[in-house]
Amino acid sequence: MPDKSNRASLLADASKRLEEALKHVTISEDAIARLQHPKTSLSVSIPVRMDDGKLKVFSGYRVRYDDTRGAGKGGVRYHPHVTLDEVQSLAFWMTFKCALLDLPFGGAKGGIIVNPKELSKAELERLSRGYIDAIADAVGIDIDILAPDVYTNATIMGWMMDQYSTIRRQLCRGVVTGKPLALGGSQGRDTATAMGAFTVIQTMLPKFKLIPSETTVAVQGFGNAGATIADLLAEAGYKVVAVSDSQGGIYAPQGLDITSVKKHKNQSREMKAVYCHDSVCSIVEHQVISNQELLALDVDVLIPAALENQITASNAADIKAKYIFEVANGPINSDADKILAAKGIYVFPDILVNAGGVTVSYFEWVQNRSGWYWTLAEVNQRLQDKMLIEAEKTWSISQDLTIDIRTAAYVHALNRLGTALDAKGTKSYFTSGV
């Protein structure tokens, strides 16, 4: 896989997960060689005229890691700490995620180095349109399809689609997913990541005889995916005892009223344990904790739903949860995996758990191309069916081969990727004399 000499590289660390998986698949050297490098890595400069008249230049990236099984597919994140290595790693994960879910896509990702909270809405629009101006030749409905990610949303996706359509002089709805409904978006896309994760959780936990009302949950990351999964679990009867955002978290052993916490945060931008009745919210007893303290809570289920590298060798020994579901991309690094495995902790990997987002993005792409749009119930049912099938297949592989679930997920994806890559020809084919 990617060059192991760069030990500090997120991509090199991500590729370590495949070393074990490769022991359990029959895949050609040709296929392995092709997966060692991204197909394209584009770095761009985006000049933006700010509201005060000053010109500021932002750096952006778009990576298409592999498109053997179909057009590249992946989100665009706005974050001050975006790096090319990070974007390549995310595109790498997307390659395996799409294969795991048997979607006709390859893996891609994009990002801009920016703190979007420091920009006005007008500046944010100019930046988003400028990004498309810079990468327009590298994306397209059958080339590379964009979607929302960290600190990007439906409105930003709408700007990007509109700008690409302006450049091409034709309406190109399918080049971007996660758009507003009025611009060709799909029902259920805003909750897709959480809905997919919820299906995986509901599929897996009964295998361990866990009962929702007796199962405690902590969720790190209270953004769109984290808040929604917390809400879904609470509605299903799980006891969600802790949640956190970038500023810190709250913990209430008796359980949190997630609906009220969401309402209070949206109104006040503060994270507090509250109970709301109509417009009146009353603070209830809780502890204020840090993100690291949340990760170490003695709960049954831990859900990292924030950013990469939240659980590493430095804090993995502190983890007490028995089951971890990765809603974020890459929240656990490879060194931590070994420590968690030694502690008997089950880790359900990101390429399975958070694949609901790209799955409904696929549905949106299909609807855009056909002009036939589905109801919310249809989207959610199709998503549930897709996630259930691949979750069960991954579980069966882990049981049949006696391997951990992350390795099983990569084995499942590699089998599909290997078949597609080998269909283009291998060393054995070209040296067979046929």
C-beta atoms surrounding 282 within 10 Å:
10
Task: Give the closest residue to 250 by CA, choosing from 294, 315, 301.
Answer: 294
Check if 109 is active-site: yes
Q: What's the CA dihedral at 263, 267, 269, 275 to 10 degrees?
A: -40
Q: Is 311 helix (H, G, I), strand (E, B) or coil?
A: strand
The whole-angstrom separation of Cα 400 and Cα 235 is 34
The amino acid sitting at 35 is L
Q: Is 121 helix (H, G, I), strand (E, B) or coil?
A: helix
The amino acid sitting at 320 is K
* DSSP state letter for 424: T
Helical ranges in 237-355 per DSSP H: 258-268, 291-295, 334-342, 350-353
Q: Which of 39, 73, 97, 109 is catalytic?
A: 109
Task: Give the closest residue to 421 by CA, choosing from 21, 39, 16.
Answer: 39
The whole-angstrom separation of Cα 398 and Cα 352 is 13
Phi, psi (deg, nearest 5) at residue 11: -65, -40
Q: State how far Cα 312 lies from the chain centre.
A: 19
Query: Sign of the CA dihedral 221, 223, 225, 229?
Result: positive
The whole-angstrom separation of Cα 245 and Cα 42 is 31
Structure tokens at 388: 């259930």
Active site residues: 109
